[in-house]
Amino acid sequence: MTTERRDRVRRWRNRLLFSVRGRATVLTAAVSALILVLVFVLVMLLARDWATNRVARKSERTAERIAFDVSTGAQRQALTVKPDEAPLVQVVSPDGTVEAASKAAEGRPAFAQPRLKRNVLLIDERACPASLDGCVWVFGLRLRTSPWGEGVMVMAASPLPTPLDVWLLPVGTAFILAVLLALITWWTWYTLGRALVPVDRLRAELADVGARGLDRRVTVPRTEGEMQALTETVNATLARLEEASNRERRFVSDASHDLRNPIAGLYMRLEVALDEPDDYPWKPMVRAAMADVQRLSDIVMDLLELSRLDARTPATVEPVDLAELARRELALSGGQVPIETRLEPGVVVAANTVRLGRVLANLLNNAERHAESRIRVTVARDDGEAVVEVLDDGSGVPEKSRERVFERFARLPESRDRDPHGTGLGLPIAREIAEIYGGSLRVADSPRGARFVLRLPLA
């Protein structure tokens, strides 16, 4: 079985066993099957009773007609039966001797020997004599007088139907009930699917809200029912979430803007102090303070960028040649670790140059922190997409932590050791920017080190 077929089987199994629609359909089908089996058994019992009663009435009518003819002298040695009557007729004396018989019963012993010996007046029972191939229904009347003496019994017997004789009835009934079960199952699956269409539509609209922003709302169906109440509650919840998110973004944005000016002023004053000609002993402390101020400025800029990304603030979209952008960012990097490049020209995407430059800068900074001896940067096309890879030869990212590195403020132990003052915002910002332009950023497998793969749709 191919992987695609196994996945399809697994998806259908999960839909049948774990979804509301599947479980309701399976339960309905099971209950319906049980009811239809009981109906089948009841129909078979009723059919058996009807066939038995029909044969019994046939034997009774035949015996009564023969007895009447015998008592009036119309029947003598040869017993004649009509085509619609029981074919097996016997006139039996009290000692069990067959005095006369129809053509089909000639040469056969009495059908109900034990009952004759008890001198019963009426026989109406099922019998399976050894002289016959199957069971029959026997009806007998004892006559006071007859041409064969007193106390003889006129017995008529009709063969009971066997399963082979009536095979069409159970097969036909089973087929009809199977078709009915299939229709019940299909109708349940179909109607539940139609009933869950508003839920699927709500799920799709909520997914769109998650992708495009909290300012969107789901469609409210005017059904005056549960779905309308649910969608109104969802919209009210989205409104509260949007308000809370806007307050948070405004706080981060305002705080970042307010902090930028005093940080810039402080940095400028520290630079002026360092420009003093004398080599004062406090200058090393000023240089350390400048590094801290620069780091604080980077944190504020990261928070401001996150605020813009969360708000989906639009930025100018233009054709960006990734090879040229990579060369520009490589020229601006510190160059502490040798960098190998393989940049395919003409790989163009539609995005904002500044934001994509920030993505590459964050990936390069991350690689420089963890690389041992080299970094490799690749730009290429792959199946209608632009692919940028940044690979270092460091210790790599454990597989279980590959998604955690894209969480805001999350830092792995090795990252803390190499850069204790980092914020853990570079990679989350890079992934946010990639997803805004319809792409992705992930950590892929590599023989050694960390391999970050950025994919964007080609322009």
The winner for highest mean pLDDT among 8-22, 41-55, 160-174 is 41-55
Q: What is the pLDDT of residue 38?
A: 94
pLDDT tier for residue 123 given thresholds of 50, 70 and 90: confident
Would you place residue 335 in the very low, low, confident or very high pLDDT band (cuts 50, 70, 90)? low
Distances (CA, A) of 272 to 220, 290, 298, 376: 62, 11, 21, 39
- Min mean pLDDT across 65-69, 242-246, 367-371 is at 242-246
Confidence of residue 16 (pLDDT cuts 50, 70, 90): low
pLDDT at 256 over 90: no
The confidence band for 57, taking pLDDT boundaries of 50, 70 and 90, is very high
% of the chain exceeding 90 in pLDDT:
8
Question: Which tokens is 127 given?
Answer: 């019998």
Which domains are present in the chain? 1-195 (3.30.450.20), 226-310 (1.10.287.130), 318-457 (3.30.565.10)
Higher pLDDT, 181 or 276: 181
Contact present, 353 and 459 (Cβ < 8 Å): no
Give the pLDDT confidence of 257-306 residue by residue, as tens digits: 666 666 777 777 677 776 766 666 766 776 677 666 666 766 667 666 66
Under the banding of pLDDT at 50, 70 and 90, the label for residue 165 is low
Residue 179, pLDDT score = 93
pLDDT over threshold 80, residue 366:
yes
pLDDT for 207 beyond 60: yes
The mean per-residue pLDDT over the stretch 310-333 comes to 80
Query: What H or E segment, with its residue span, contains residue 377?
Result: strand 375-382
CA atoms within a 13 Å half-sphere pointing along the CA-CB vector of 318: 10
pLDDT digits (tens, 9 = 90+) for 64-96: 988 888 887 766 656 888 888 888 998 888 888
Is residue 421 predicted with pLDDT exceeding 60?
no
Which two three-digit tokens encode residue 124?
Answer: 């109406």
- At residue 5 the predicted structure's pLDDT band, cuts being 50, 70 and 90, is confident
Query: Tokens for 104?
Result: 């089909």
Assess whether pLDDT exceeds 90 at residue 34: yes
In 25-108, the DSSP E strands lie at 88-92, 98-101
| pLDDT exceeds 60 at position 113 | yes
* The pLDDT of residue 334: 65
Question: Sorting pLDDT into bands at 50, 70 and 90, what band is 194?
Answer: confident
Residues 6 or more apart in contact with residue 310 via CB below 8 angstroms: 245, 249
**pLDDT value of position 181:** 92
What is the structure's pLDDT at 8? Answer: 75
Spatial distance between the Cα atoms of 93 and 74, rounded to a whole number of angstroms: 19
Helices (H) and strands (E) in the chain — how many of each? 11, 12
Average pLDDT over residues 378-386: 87
Determine contact, residues 341/310, Cβ cutoff 8 Å. no
Identify the band that residue 131 occupies on the pLDDT scale cut at 50, 70 and 90.
confident
Mean pLDDT of the chain: 80
Question: Which ranges constitute the DSSP H helices of 2-19?
Answer: 3-18
Q: Answer whether residue 422 shows pLDDT above 80.
A: no
pLDDT, tens only, 211-221: 666 677 777 87
